[in-house]
Each structure stands twice: as C-alpha cells, then as structure tokens.
Amino acid sequence: MAENVEICIRGGGIVGYTLALLLARLNLRVGLVKESDNTKSSGQVVKKDIRAYALNQQSKTLLESINAWPGSENVTPVHKMVVHADQNGLVQFDGYDSSNTKKSSSLSPLSWIVDVQSIEEKLSDTLNQSKVVVLNQSDEKRSQNIVSFNAPLTVICEGNKSVSKNQLNTQTIKTPYYQNAMAARVRVSQPNQGIAYQWFNSLAANSNDFEVLALLPLGGEQSNEFAVVWSAPERWISKLKEMPEAEFTDSLSQSTRGLFKDITLYSPRQSWPLTFSKTTQWSGAFNPKQSWVVSGDSAHTVHPLAGMGLNLGLGDAASLYEFLLERELHSSWRPLNDLRLLESYSRQRKLSILGPTTFIDGIQRLFASDYSIASVIRNQGFNAFNNINPLKHWAMKEAMKTAT
C-alpha cells in the first residue's frame, strides 16, 4: 500500500492531518506517516496537551471545510481583547466588523479559543473515515531514510524538531528567545465573558527580562475558565512550574495586576522552549523523480505572544492544496515532483509569513530591550495605536487573513 502513495505527508500534528484531509479531496493517493499514538520523537509517553489555541477566521473556515472544527463546548469566541504594556500602555480590540454595516449584531469574534486536544481528536476521527493511508512510524524506524516511500512528493510537517528535515539540503536559521512558555488552566470568580487578556510585564528594573502573560477565555462566555499562556525567561518558568499551587496563583494574581482574585489552578503546568526559526529553502528534489516541501512548524516558528504559529501553518497547508488543485484542474500533465510548481508554493508562503513573523519578532524585541526609549515607545506606542481606529481595524483584518 505504502508503495502506491503519490503524496507522502510526514508528521501527524495538526498541520499534517489537515493537509492530508485537504489533499484527499484531490484525485491522488495520500499517505500520512505518523508516530504511534502514545510515543513521540523523544520516546517518552505523551501527556495530554493542555494548551488552547487562538485560531483566526481563515483557520476556522479551513478546519470546518474538512469537518475538523470541534463542537461548541470546546470553542470560545473572543469578543474583546485587552493588551497591557509594561507601564500605562493599553490597546483594546473589540469585535470585528466583517460586513461594514456598523451594526453591533454583525460583529464577528476576533478569534476563537479552541482546546487543542479536541481539534486533534476531531482530525483523527475524520482521518479514520477518509481514504488517507496511515503509515505508523515505529520508533526503531524513525531514523530511516525519508525517501524510503516511492512517493513523487513528500511533505515534511514534523514540527520544529523534525528529524527528516535534517536530511534535506536546506538550512534553518534559529534565534532563541531565551524564554519558555508555560500553559495551564485556571478558574476565577467571575464569567470570562469572551474577553482575552494579555500583559507585558518587566520582571526587573534595568534588565531586559520580561514576561508575556495571556489569559484566554475557555468553556464558553458564561464559564469562569481561562487558558494561561505564560512566556518568560526559562528560570522563572521553571520556578512557576514547580512552586506550590497557592504560590502559583498568587504570582498569577500579581502578574495580572490584581484583576483576578480567587484564582484556582485545575490542570498540570506544561512548558515549551521558544525559538524564532525560519527555513531558508522550502522545496527541493531528493532525486530526479522525487521532491519535497516543508510546512508548518518545520518551516517556521514564532513566539506565541500573538497566537499565530498554527494559523500560519494552516495557511501553508491551504496554499499547497490550492497549488495542487490548480495543477489537477489545469496542468495535470505536470508531475507532482515538478520543482517549478513547488517553488511557486515556497515563494508564496515565504512572502505571506514575512509580515506577521517580522511583526511578532519586532514586538518581542521591543519588550526585550532595556533602553528607556524602548519603554517610552512601547507604552506611548500602544496608547497611540489604541486611539487610531482605522489602523486598529486594518491590523485586525490582517490578523484574520494570515492563513492564505
């Protein structure tokens, strides 16, 4: 069966699954190489991922189109977002006017906060009912040569620790943020009302140590639950992970500047190292008959401060699907390993992600700077931005459409 696959997708994360389901709509035999369900690259047993992602309108539409959008119990629309800079700077985003009618009833949510586990389960269920051939990668075979399947096209979606990518003739430029991100879930005393909050806090005077703390509404607008995403220097995250629960909720209360009282932690605390990375070449040939492309975190990673990583990865999947659909409709004589076709995808995606990744990296650096002028720029800049409505609307629309 594996020998007959025309497109081999390597990596069973959200991007790999989504791409497999999209490409299965075409007249192609698609295979997905995934690790066994309870072990991953590290060989360790996988824990339940307690993150919740902020997904934009385009990601929602894409996941709905392949029947992979979870049920409403796992999705909370965000109607308002309040972002605090380290001093008095503040930006507030309200519902987005998608119809330009100025009626409040027509305001679309800014984003949707989705339980990660529920998207993965939905994708897995849908994939099991599709014609995609699932090829389980047992641990001992992980280091096998990636050209072992005869597919004319291989798509690498193995995330940022991709082993297969190391076998390609491409480089990845990596810049560590010197921060880790911690995820957890908490309850507070009042309903979340579909409001997302973010605080940029300096951790010490005259130092470039800072944290970004986000509280994302979970469980619907009437629920009192939030997903926490806390990015900070590694040593602070290690402390936050290990400290007793009461100390943790006190720290959270302090970092949210007293907005929430009676915070209760109801999940484990998990963390990830953070790196800005981009792959220099997104497509190439293994040999004259077989080519490769990269997608998702295998191609790029950004700081989670803007909740964009997966939105960009789903944009890669949507774009590759569009190019292959176009081939099927208008130039099916082109082989799937045609480098000109694959380079069109690479060029388009490199250009599409340039704006968002540069913006996110710029914000991160602005807060990582200990120059007093940077402090003035970020706080006054936040306030000025908040007062220019057309600029805010433009920024929101851009954030909504980064997927393609």
Ligand X SMILES: Cc1cc2nc3c(=O)[nH]c(=O)nc-3n(C[C@H](O)[C@H](O)[C@H](O)COP(=O)(O)OP(=O)(O)OC[C@H]3O[C@@H](n4cnc5c(N)ncnc54)[C@H](O)[C@@H]3O)c2cc1C
What are the helix (H) ranges across 336-402?
Answer: 339-368, 372-387, 389-400
Main-chain dihedrals φ then ψ at residue 317, nearest 5 degrees: -60, -45
Quick one: which of 5, 9, 24, 33 contacts ligand X (CB under 6 A)? 33
Contact indicator for 162, 11 with CB cutoff of 8 Å: yes
Check residue 14 for interaction with ligand X (CB under 6 A).
Answer: yes
Stretch that binds ligand X, among 151-159, 205-213, 323-331, 377-385 (CB under 6 A): 151-159
Quick one: which of 16, 95, 217, 315 contacts ligand X (CB under 6 A)? 16
Binding flags for ligand X, 235-274, as an x/- string (CB under 6 A): -------------------------------------x--
Check residue 308 for interaction with ligand X (CB under 6 A).
Answer: yes
- Least Å distance, CB 17 to ligand X, is 8
Check residue 356 for interaction with ligand X (CB under 6 A).
Answer: no
Check residue 137 for interaction with ligand X (CB under 6 A).
Answer: yes
| CA nearest to 9, candidates 231, 196, 157 | 157
- Least Å distance, CB 64 to ligand X, is 16
Q: Which is nearer to ligand X, 212 or 341 (CB)?
A: 212
Check residue 158 for interaction with ligand X (CB under 6 A).
Answer: yes
| CA nearest to 6, candidates 33, 24, 31 | 31
Q: Which is nearer to ligand X, 53 or 200 (CB)?
A: 53
Q: Which is nearer to ligand X, 316 or 379 (CB)?
A: 316
Per DSSP (E only), the strands in 64-194 are 75-78, 80-84, 90-94, 96-97, 107-108, 111-115, 133-137, 153-156, 172-187
Q: Which residue has the tokens 């944290």?
A: 211
Contact indicator for 192, 226 with CB cutoff of 8 Å: yes
Check residue 51 for interaction with ligand X (CB under 6 A).
Answer: yes
Whole-number Å distance between alpha carbons of 158 and 156: 6
Contact indicator for 65, 19 with CB cutoff of 8 Å: no
Check residue 278 for interaction with ligand X (CB under 6 A).
Answer: no
The CA-based diameter of the chain, rounded to the nearest angstrom, is 65
Check residue 10 for interaction with ligand X (CB under 6 A).
Answer: yes
Would you give the DSSP letter of residue 71? P
Give the residue nearest to ligand X (CB): 13
Interface residues toward ligand X, by CB under 6 A: 10-16, 33-35, 40-41, 51, 53-54, 137, 142, 157-159, 162-164, 181, 183, 229, 272, 296-297, 304, 307-311, 313
